[in-house]
Structure 1
Amino acid sequence: MPEDRKPPAQIRQFNHRDFDVPKLLEHKGNTKVSVCLPARNEGLTVGPIVATIKADLLASGVVDEILVIDDHSSDNTASVAREAGARVVAAAEILAEYGSGFGKGEVLWKSLYVAEGDIIVWCDADISQFGSRFVSGILGPLLCESDVDVAKGFYRRPERDREGGGRVTELVARPLLSLFCPDLAALHQPLSGEYGGKRAVLEQLPFVQGYGVEVGLLIDLAKQFGLNGLVQVDLDVRHHRNRSLAELGPQAMAIAQTIMRHVDWDLAPVASELIRPGFAPVTVDVSERPPMVEVTSYLTRTLELAATLQP
């Protein structure tokens, strides 16, 4: 290791089994919790996910709202989620003054605007055999440990017979993080879609619009707040749809662009084309949305919401 380079930080680790419903309720107090699911064409899986969270955590009072942000789905995602018990909002209807935007990061950013919780927990909507541990495990450290700001999930994926991250993580994200942000490379799955944080922290971070959102949030969190408030949680096993290499290419490029631009804006363009033989070029754009505290209508809405909660 070079003399000017410090060893990677040790990121605290928990297990979802550490946090059952009685313990969460004991520490919850008046904290409001929102679970947000970004979803595009996930009609097959979003219903069981919402129903499980509703039965296990909403009914008990651990979770206060289940929110599905429908990202221009062409299937029955919205109706299935609504029937299962979620509040469903179309991404196109949120912060319309900022334009339509695109991608997962855009949806997560908009979910922060419409969610009412003091703590936001995000889960991907493509998980099969979903268990409420994906929410309670993330929520546990945020409620029970006063110095935790963001909790990141990790898991084993039997479809690929491995315990590490996915292909994009191990071939793109982890090598680049090891070079430029080694403390974050110590995370088991830095690109995991199951994570959450305290609104007071999340609202101060910019959101990359596309696939780079997870790694972008981690790097900005480290820069602005350090890593003492970041933990990771073992969520056991996760089953989800595997994507082809053709589908993963744009995601991998977005991750690389995001990491490189967070190191130095001049290392990579904000938008570039992914060139592959036999495929049409794909434009990969890692434009950012501003921290929510810089959005005027968000500040106004926050004040109005606080006024309604006054005794």
Structure 2
Amino acid sequence: MLPEVSDWLRRRSWTAAERPLEALLTAKRAAGPAGTISVVLPALDEESTVGGIVRVIRRELMERLPLVDELVVLDSGSADGTARIAAEAGARVVHRDEVLPRLPAVAGKGEVLWRSLLATSGEIVCFVDADLREFDPAFVSGIVGPLLTDPSIHLVKAMYDRPLETDGAVVPAGGGRVTELVARPLLNLHWPQLAGFVQPLGGEYAARRSLLERLPFPTGYGVELGLLVDALELAGLDALAQVDVGVRHHRHQDGQALGRMAATIYRTALERLDRTGRLKSGQDLVRPLLTQFTRDPAGREFTAHTHPVGALERPPMVTVPEYHRR
């Protein structure tokens, strides 16, 4: 590990308990408008979990302690009761297609995160995945803490244990398969300054609006890697940090979905290597298709299924006219 990464780990890694809630509230009040916090839950068919997350945030971080100013569920076209349940639990629900309607939306998590900058007003924006179970408010308070107490920090990722829970069995450190097989090797090989991040692909992170509005957002699963790499380039390693918030329990994807996720993340990394001149000029970056196989119902042969590997990105929000007129 690079000496600067070892030093970064020592100075920029904390636990949530190191910043008590009352201390955060004091820091928030002292920060004034710069301390306003928006929490965004990107959601697609998460009716079984989104309500519980919203209720915990409202009860613990808005009513019991007024730390969070705005709680928004950005619905990405759910076909179930996600929007209704989130609203009943106390969130403001915004549909993806209602934000920047002149620009047709595309599918993908990064798309709704990008649009959420137009649907929120806080100077600190905190993203939380909507499929978490046994939700702890430290997933929010822990990662906004450094932003409230240290003006030199601009982005904070949550770190946590990620057990793999499937078919009644629990593998304590079995989660985060795409992180371990794809993202971590990519970061270690090409962006070794980011090698210290425990959960580089984690969906729980907070950042200053002044940083997020200047970053391009990959529209799909590559958004977490893309934002982290671009934040390093724009703000520098010392502006990034991570906070231990405990254990993350969530829904796990099947193997083929993980394969599509991995391909998208890999292509996101290649785009950034090319953008910074680290690949040969004019070289084809990637075949933007991923072929996977399933066995036919009779069990005799495999059938090929080819999926596009998306790379569409939205421009920095600061360049969008509607953002300035909101």
Query: 1:231 is matched with which residue: 224, 241, 246?
Result: 241
Q: Is 1:132 matched up with 2:128?
A: no
Q: Deviations over 1:249-271 (max 9, x none)?
A: 110001100011101155624x7
Give the Cα–Cα distance (whole angstroms) in 1 for the partners of residues 74 and 292 of structure 2.
32
- The one-letter amino acid of 2:311's match is V
Q: Give the superposition deviation at 1:67.
A: 0.3
Tell me the equivalent position of 1:19. Answer: 19
Gap regions ≥5 residues in structure 1? 302-311
Residues 39-188 of structure 1 correspond to what in structure 2 (within 5 A)?
Answer: 39-59=43-63, 60-159=65-164, 161-163=171-173, 166-188=176-198
So what's the TM-score if we normalise by structure 1?
Answer: 0.91
Q: Deviations over 1:83-128 (max 9, x none)?
A: 0000000001111222112200000001111111010000000000
- Contact 1:156-1:164 at 8 Å conserved across structures: no
Residues 276-295 of structure 1 correspond to what in structure 2 (within 5 A)?
Answer: 276-278=292-294, 279-295=304-320
Q: Give the superposition deviation at 1:185.
A: 2.2
- Structure 1 outlier segments of 4+, above 4 Å: 162-165
Q: Give the superposition deviation at 1:164.
A: 8.1
Give the Cα–Cα distance (whole angstroms) in 2 for the partners of residues 163 and 15 of structure 1.
19
Gap regions ≥5 residues in structure 2? 165-169, 276-282, 295-303
- Contact 2:163-2:175 at 8 Å conserved across structures: no
Give the Cα–Cα distance (whole angstroms) in 2 for the partners of residues 164 and 14 of structure 1.
23
Residues 178-217 of structure 1 correspond to what in structure 2 (within 5 A)?
Answer: 178-217=188-227
Give the Cα–Cα distance (whole angstroms) in 2 for the partners of residues 168 and 8 of structure 1.
26
Q: Give the superposition deviation at 1:8.
A: 5.4
Q: Please state whether the residue corresponding to 1:112 is helix, strand or coil.
A: helix
Give the Cα–Cα distance (whole angstroms) in 1 for the partners of residues 149 and 196 of structure 2.
23
- The one-letter amino acid of 2:45's match is N
- The one-letter amino acid of 1:272's match is P
Q: Give the superposition deviation at 1:18.
A: 1.6
Q: Deviations over 1:1-38 (max 9, x none)?
A: 9xxxx655224101011222211111002221100000
- Contact 2:256-2:292 at 8 Å conserved across structures: no
Tell me the equivalent position of 1:274. Answer: 290
Give the Cα–Cα distance (whole angstroms) in 2 for the partners of residues 181 and 158 of structure 1.
26
Residues 19, 161 of structure 1: alpha-carbon distance in 2 compared, 3 angstrom cutoff: farther
Give the Cα–Cα distance (whole angstroms) in 1 for the partners of residues 4 and 255 of structure 2.
31
- The one-letter amino acid of 2:151's match is S
So what's the TM-score if we normalise by structure 2?
Answer: 0.87
Give the Cα–Cα distance (whole angstroms) in 2 for the partners of residues 173 and 295 of structure 1.
30
**Total equivalences in the alignment:** 296
Q: Is 1:33 matched up with 2:37?
A: yes
Q: Please state whether the residue corresponding to 2:237 is helix, strand or coil.
A: coil
Give the Cα–Cα distance (whole angstroms) in 2 for the partners of residues 227 and 165 of structure 1.
26
Give the Cα–Cα distance (whole angstroms) in 1 for the partners of residues 171 and 128 of structure 2.
22
Q: Give the superposition deviation at 1:161.
A: 3.4
Q: Deviations over 1:224-275 (max 9, x none)?
A: 1111110011011111111111111110001100011101155624x71111
Q: Please state whether the residue corresponding to 1:116 is helix, strand or coil.
A: coil
Q: Please state whether the residue corresponding to 1:78 is helix, strand or coil.
A: helix
Give the Cα–Cα distance (whole angstroms) in 1 for the partners of residues 68 and 174 of structure 2.
29
- The one-letter amino acid of 1:51's match is R
- Contact 1:254-1:285 at 8 Å conserved across structures: yes
Give the Cα–Cα distance (whole angstroms) in 2 for the partners of residues 95 and 292 of structure 1.
11
Q: Give the superposition deviation at 1:165.
A: 6.4
Question: Percent identity over the alignment?
Answer: 45
Q: Tell me how large the CA RMSD over aligned residues is.
A: 1.6
